[in-house]
Amino acid sequence: MAKSIERLLDANFNRAREALRVLEDYARFLLNDATLSGAAKALRHELTTAMAQIGVTELLGARDTLGDVGTVLSTDQEKRRRDSLVVVLAASRRLSEALRCLEEYSKIRYGDLAAALEQIRYRAYELEKTVLTRANREDRFRAVQVYVLLTESACQRPILQVAEAVLEGGADCIQLREKQKADAELVELARIIAQMCHDAGALFVMNDRADLAVLANADGVHVGQDDLSVEQVRKVVGGHVCVGKSSHSVEEARAAQNEGCDYLAVGSVFASQTKPQVAVSGLELIQQVRDCYQGPVIAIGGVTPENASQAVSAGASGVAISQAVLGAADPAEQVRRLKAVFDQDG
């Protein structure tokens, strides 16, 4: 029995360390999140330090891999993973299960260790929540191809008719940009458009206003360089809402990535009628950003159905469009033309 307890502890220690490494590398290489990767690494080292109370000799001496009946037991589900998110989910579950086993069985002879493991388990729960929430937010935006910037003054038809039309055309996301409306009027409009988006299976993003995004049940908030930071927005909206940021240089893109943004709007890639004061960065900026950022990149500024393919070829995962759709006689058809660009690219 004595050796059996150490053998069990050794096996679950290995499971927990391996699971933490999976989470750490996901945060490091797929999310490009240094803070989150560092948190997983720190927890892994804390676990190793705690387990040192038993001693390496005791744990290794009890190890019997060849005699472990569990090494030949597996399921078909364990042999395949659909995508990286499923890998992380499986690792998260393995981590919590291993830590619970470590905590419970260490109570037999290592009471002080059990108390330390309990605290590590609680922190692992928070790490799991943070990693999976971040993964889900970013995953939702990876599917966005046509991102419509909706401003009433730019619409040729009533704004709700235009919103309905772009959703009918297949827009993946609508961002409401209104600087002049009173808050009460703006939040009511936002609620209506958010519901329209959700009914159509699209995302709804609020420009700048994190407070109104909460009231409108928005899926995201978009901020510029002079607005609230990504961290400040999250304090208002919580962890489940996507936060995007505009970037006009590689330096700004790196800074936004370090803040933990879920997607970048990069530009202006072409001359923009909506914001003529913004300097044209060109397609090269998209390529440069792609070298340091693997998340969703939305090309913004002067995009039209005629030039959108250039932005996609440069590395944009989606395009933001305003005047070319809002001012069109048939907004739905303009969106369809944009969606066709991605079909051709694929």
Q: Which residues of the chain have pLDDT under 70?
A: 1-2, 69, 71-79, 273-278, 345-346
Q: What is the pLDDT of residue 283?
A: 95
Q: What is the pLDDT of residue 68?
A: 75
Number of Cβ within a 10 Å radius of residue 63 = 15
The residue written with tokens 């109370």 in the block is 53
Helices and strands (DSSP H and E) totals, the chain: 14, 8
Token pair in block for residue 129? 């929540």
Q: What is the pLDDT of residue 82?
A: 73
Torsion from C-alpha of 71, 73, 77, 78, nearest 10 degrees: -10
For residues 326 and 154, the answer to whether their CB atoms sit within 8 Å is: yes
For residues 242 and 262, the answer to whether their CB atoms sit within 8 Å is: yes
For residue 6, the one-letter residue type is E
When the pLDDT of each residue in the chain is averaged and rounded to a whole number, the result is 91
Q: What is the pLDDT of residue 276?
A: 65
Sign of the torsion formed by the C-alpha atoms of 185, 188, 190 and 192: negative
Number of Cβ within a 10 Å radius of residue 244 = 28
List, in order of start, the domains of the chain with CATH numbers.
2-139 (1.20.1260), 143-345 (3.20.20.70)
Angle at 323 between CA 321 and CA 325, to 5 degrees: 65
Contacts of 297 (CB under 8 A, 6+ apart): 263, 264, 266, 286, 289, 290, 315, 316, 317, 318
- Three-state DSSP state, 243: strand
Torsion from C-alpha of 187, 192, 196, 197, nearest 10 degrees: 0
Could you tell me which residues are beta bridge partners of residue 176? 150, 206
- How far is Cα 17 from Cα 31, in angstroms, rounded to an integer? 20
> Helix 2-25 to helix 111-142 angle, to the nearest 10 degrees?
30
How far does Cα 265 stand from its chain's mean position? 14
pLDDT tens per residue across span 248-272: 999 999 999 999 899 999 999 998 7
DSSP state, residue 279:
P
CA distance readout (Å), 105 to 91, 164, 173, 246, 295:
21, 59, 50, 51, 41
pLDDT tens per residue across span 221-252: 999 999 999 999 999 998 878 999 999 999 99
Contacts of 26 (CB under 8 A, 6+ apart): 84, 87, 88, 91, 131, 135
- Please list the helix, strand and coil fractions of the chain in percent, rounded to the nearest 5, in that order: 60, 10, 30
Number of Cβ within a 10 Å radius of residue 240 = 11
